[in-house]
Amino acid sequence: YQRRVHGVGDPSYFLECNKVKKVGQVVRAICLMDHPIPNISENAKSCQIIIPQSELKRQNDVYVSCTSFVHKVCPDGWYIALVSTTVETATPTAELEAGLKLLGPVKEQFVSVSDVYEPISAGREDKCFISKSMDASSHFESCAHDILDMYERIMGTPYDVDAKDPQQDA
């Protein structure tokens, strides 16, 4: 039996040991509202809007996602909207304006700017496997790709989505 020690974590755990590098920033606004996003189907208690970069003369899209009390993430009658994008200028909050304009009146707004990091190495040598920071997207596609990449770096083979659970046949 050979014991294998692995370190698996988010970049924030590795900032001081030179295992990650900063690759940008993301600005996010969390907005609390007592109404759905206007001009969306009245039955929509949640939605996702992607404002294309070309429409805004930007290098990155602006993402708007909204969820509500129906999903049990806030009290009845309330909605939570998240507006985010990759920072391109010295005024990150202003970069959210196109998305914020879609929301209508906002009761409370919380804005944050976060650094985005990625691992410097694959982690195979030191067994320290680090994910990338969450990007600005609201559909989690890049997060899913990062998880699959980490699986392959840790296990040495790609994840097989068609593999059967050996316990099913038992």
Q: Is 145 helix (H, G, I), strand (E, B) or coil?
A: helix
Amino acid at 100: L
Q: Which residue did the predictor score with more confidence, 6 or 123?
A: 123
pLDDT tens for each residue of 31-89 = 999 999 998 887 788 999 999 999 999 999 999 999 999 999 999 999 999 999 999 99
Residue 149 exposed, middle or buried by CB count within 10 Å (0-12, 13-18, 19+): middle
* pLDDT in the model for residue 3: 54
Average pLDDT for 140-144 = 89
Q: State both tokens at 29.
A: 């606004």
Confidence category of residue 1, pLDDT binned at 50, 70, 90? very low
